[in-house]
Each structure stands twice: as structure tokens, then as C-alpha cells.
Amino acid sequence: MPTLKDTYPLYLNNKAAQPNTDLAVTDKFTGEVAFRTALASPEIIDEAIAGAVRAAEPMARLASYERQAVLQHCVGRFTERFDELAYALCVEAGKPIKDSEGEVTRLIDTFRIAAEESVRMVGEVMPLDISARARGYQSIWKRYPIGPCSFISPFNFPLNLAAHKVAPAIAVGCPFVMKPASKTPLGAIIMGEVLAETDLPEGAFSILPASRDGADLFTVDERLKLLSFTGSPAVGWDLKARCGKKKVVLELGGNAAVVVDHDADLDDALERIIFGAFYQSGQSCIGVQRIIVHEDVYDRFRDMLVAKTKTLVAGDPKDRDTFIGPMISEGEASRLKGWIDEAVAGGATLLTGGGCKGNMLEATLLEDVHKDAKALNEEAFGPLAILQKFSSFDEALAEVNRSTFGLQAGIFTRDLFKMFDAWDRLEVGGVVINDVPSYRVDNMPYGGVKDSGLGREGIKFAMEDMTEIRNLVIRRG
Ligand code: NAD
């Protein structure tokens, strides 16, 4: 089994620095301090932003092959350090080891996609002679890096969601300052260690664990041209309101729904929904929270779900048999336990689960939940799913849309017309047919509408946000 060091540095203007060891990070299963990292002060963050400003021009001047070489270096090194990265995630996030390995695989995919896209930043030639006044004119536009970027990432995918900001920034040539989540900073720090092995221009990157109170510069500093935030809706919308003239990308939360129609393959839907609802203890922004099932198959499917949920192995995330590990903190587990109890007190039926010890909350299924209950309407972000019944497909779509959120939705149907109907009418960033809303491949456009956010990630789409179109108009004699 790989081992972790006792202390880790931060990365300031491409270099490791250890001004202190102020951030203690716990093993989320044992609760013991696993390692300590440096915590950046506002002065250090200021120095990093100044470095990023200096690096903007040399970064923009890098040739495509040079940016690609940096990304390829990362792919190689992450592959070599696969076990160590997975173990770090397992410890700092309490993520079951198999899910941790899955995330490292995605990290490598994300950098590989960025390496490919980095040499494909193409523009367009446009005729402008659309009327007599523009006769003889044409334009050529290209993408130009937006400049220093501010990145803030959450605890639940400490590696891959940091990668969804870092890799496209390198692909387009933007310097950046990044604040990883304080509960899980190590993934991003190791990324910094690997980037420090490259010859990116000085100031190209800083990776700075920081306390929330001391991290305002990431939001308010006008030298930063883009804020890309992944995290909770309350924090994200607040940062947007305070970030001045910056472009903003917000990847926020949701209470994702899946619809199981009467013609669905129930055995297949069962496997996928159990995964979607309970992988990494439901701590995914696209985890299945609402399971909306056609009345003809409802009773049968409910019994299948309950039986399967009861077989899920909970315990130490380092154990390869574990499917349900700890939640990120005891506070989060008791918050959700409170919502479950409140739903039951309001008339819901507890089908299975509901028990909570420390930060271990059982995989829980509810039905007949009151339509105003927090458990149904707010983001659960834990191992809870709620069954609901529908009789017409229109009703199912309306129920999916009866949410302030709109990240992704899943529909199990074999009917082509219903598929297109769902795609047209669901208020979400993505519709997934015959799979759960939790499905994501790292090159696809990904993001939300409504309270779930603004903008799209998925390398190519993030690269668009990290660039501005620069046009060239040519008059021909
Ligand atoms: P969070 O909002 O508590 O924290 C996210 C990040 O913001 C952390 O790094 C945190 O330290 C930082 N932060 C908080 N307040 C700040 C401030 N005032 N200034 C600067 N930084 C600040 O979220 P979390 O608990 O880490 O993550 C869970 C949330 O993230 C859930 O809501 C989940 O749905 C969402 N999420 C969304 C996506 C997506 O792609 N849409 C993916 C994963 C997680």
C-alpha cells in the first residue's frame, strides 16, 4: 500500500513552498490527522496573482506543441503515480478505493483529452460581404487566452474537478491560481508537484490551499479575468455577485432525477440506479436523488431496489469490498440524517437505511415523501434516494422539472419519441438515455441550468470559456 508524507507544500509561482504546516487533513474514515499542508495567507495569494499576471504573455506565446508536451508529461506521470493518487483520494476524501481508482483513470483521460485539444484551437474565415456596404471585406477570427484565471474546486472529486480547470487552462495558455477544498487538498497538490517538473513559464500556476476567510482575492481581485468555481450553489452564486468584471463559470449542485418508464429493462436500470444513487456515498452533484417510476412497474422495481440496497457493503474505504464509505464529515451526515427523520415525521415511508453513526450514514430509500420536504427539494449530497410514482410520461417530465436545479436527468425508455421529448423539454444541461444522470465522460459538454450553474466544462467547452475571440477584418483593395 502506498504511503503518504507527513507534510506537503503549496505551489507558489511553479515552486514548492512550505511557509507553515497549518492545515491538518484527516483520514475521513479513522478521523485521525493523515498529513498537514501549508495554508496560503492573503499575501501569498497576492504574490501568486502577480506571478500569473507576469506569466500571461509568455503563456499566450507558447506554441501548441509546447502546451501539448506539458499535458502529455502529466498523463505519463499520473499514470506512473496511479496507486499513490488513488490512495491519497481514498484517505483524504474517504472515497472507496475502487471509486478512487476510477477517478484517477478519469484524471488521466481529462489530461489526455486536453493534450489532444491543445493543438486544435482553430478559428474561422468568414465572408463579410453580406450587403453592398461590406463588399470586399472578410474576417478571420481566432481564440486568444483570456489571461490569469481563478479556480476553486470542491471536496468530492478532488482530482478530476481540479483537472477540468487546470488541463484546459494549460491547453489554451492561461496562467492560473487554484484553491483546492481544504478537506481534500492533496490531489491538487500532487498535480502541482507534477506540473513543477515541466518548464511552464514562471507564474503559470499556483496551487494554494487557503482558508475560506482568507481566500477573498480568488473572487474579488480584478487582475483575474475568469472565475471558474465548482462547489455548492450558495457559495457559487455569492461569489458571482462579488467577482466584479470577471467572466464566471459555475458548476454547482443538484437533486438529479431518473425516470424509469414501463418499457425499461428493469434489471439493467436497477444496476445503474444503485450505482448512481449510492456511489461515493451519494456525494456527487449528479448523484440520483429522485427515482420516478411508472406505476405499472413501481411495486416490482421498488422491491428490487430495496433488496439490492440492503446488500451494499459499508465500511472502510480502503477495503476493496466496500461500496459505501464515510461521508465527508459527521456534520454533513447528521444534516442529512435530520432531513430523513424530518421526511419520515412528515409522512414518508423509510424503505431501508436511515441509520447513522459518526459520518457513516446508511444507504437510504424513502417513498411517499411530502412534496415540500427538504429531502426531496434540496440537494441531499449523501446516500439518500426517494421513489416517486408517475402514470403519464408528461407527468414524469414535469416532476423532473419541478426543481430549482437542472444539471442532468436520466430516462430509461426504449421509445425514440419519448427520448426526443425529454431532450426538448427537460430543463437541464444534459439528458442521459438508458442510464443515470450521474453518467459523465470527460470530453462531453457538462454543466447546469437554473440554480445548478452557468457555462460548461468538458475540455473543449472550458477552453472556449478560457479564451476570447479575437477578430481580424480584412478589406480587399
Ligand atoms: P463548497 O461550496 O462548500 O466549497 C467549494 C470550494 O469553495 C472549496 O474549495 C471551498 O473551500 C471554497 N469556498 C467556500 N467559500 C469560499 C469563499 N468565500 N471564497 C473562496 N472560496 C470559498 O462545496 P463542497 O462542499 O466542497 O462541494 C460540494 C458541492 O459541490 C455540492 O453542492 C456539489 O453538488 C457541488 N459540485 C458540483 C459539481 C459540478 O460539476 N456541477 C461537481 C462536484 C460538486
Nearest CA to ligand 1 atom 16: 212
User: What residues form DSSP beta bridges with 257?
Assistant: 290, 409
Residue 83: exposure state from Cβ atoms within 10 A (0-12, 13-18, ≥19): middle
In this prediction, residue 327 carries a pLDDT of: 98
477 pLDDT higher than 90: no
Model confidence at 297, pLDDT cuts 50, 70, 90, reads very high
Mean pLDDT, residues 290-312: 98
Sign, CA dihedral 451-454-456-462, equals negative
For residue range 6-62, what is the model confidence (pLDDT) as tens digits? Answer: 999 999 999 999 999 999 999 999 999 999 999 999 999 999 999 999 999 999 999
Nearest CA to ligand 1 atom 10: 181
In this prediction, residue 256 carries a pLDDT of: 98
CB 239 within 8 A of CB 219: yes
CB 282 within 8 A of CB 380: yes
For residue range 183-224, what is the model confidence (pLDDT) as tens digits? Answer: 999 999 999 999 999 999 999 999 999 999 999 999 999 999
34 Cβ contact partners less than 8 Å away, ≥ 6 residues apart: 4, 25, 26, 27, 91, 92
Closest atom of ligand 1 to 179 CA is: 9
Residue 154 CA to ligand 1 centre (angstroms): 4
Active site residue 251: yes
Residue 203 CA to ligand 1 centre (angstroms): 25
Residue 231 CA to ligand 1 centre (angstroms): 2
For residue range 364-395, what is the model confidence (pLDDT) as tens digits? Answer: 999 999 999 999 999 999 999 999 999 999 99
Nearest CA to ligand 1 atom 32: 232
**Phi, psi of 78, rounded to the nearest 5 degrees:** -65, -35
pTM of the model: 0.98
**Catalytic residue of the set 117, 251, 332, 367:** 251
Top mutation candidate among 89, 92, 151, 156 for ligand 1, by most atoms within 8 Å of CB: 156
In this prediction, residue 359 carries a pLDDT of: 98
Model confidence at 442, pLDDT cuts 50, 70, 90, reads very high
In this prediction, residue 1 carries a pLDDT of: 82
Top mutation candidate among 217, 232, 239 for ligand 1, by most atoms within 8 Å of CB: 232
Mean pLDDT, residues 235-251: 98
Q: Does the predicted interface ipTM exceed a cut of 0.95?
A: yes
Residue 303 CA to ligand 1 centre (angstroms): 35
Residue 292 CA to ligand 1 centre (angstroms): 28
What percent of the chain stands above pLDDT 70? Answer: 100
Find the residues whose C-beta lies inside 6 A of ligand 1: 152-157, 161, 179, 181-182, 212, 215, 218-219, 230-232, 235, 251-253, 285, 379, 381, 407, 448, 453
Closest atom of ligand 1 to 251 CA is: 41
In this prediction, residue 353 carries a pLDDT of: 98
In the predicted model, what is the mean pLDDT of the chain?
Answer: 98
For residue range 148-170, what is the model confidence (pLDDT) as tens digits? Answer: 999 999 999 999 999 999 999 99
Top mutation candidate among 235, 381, 444 for ligand 1, by most atoms within 8 Å of CB: 235
For residue range 92-112, what is the model confidence (pLDDT) as tens digits? Answer: 999 999 999 999 999 999 999
Nearest CA to ligand 1 atom 14: 212
Closest atom of ligand 1 to 238 CA is: 18
Model confidence at 300, pLDDT cuts 50, 70, 90, reads very high
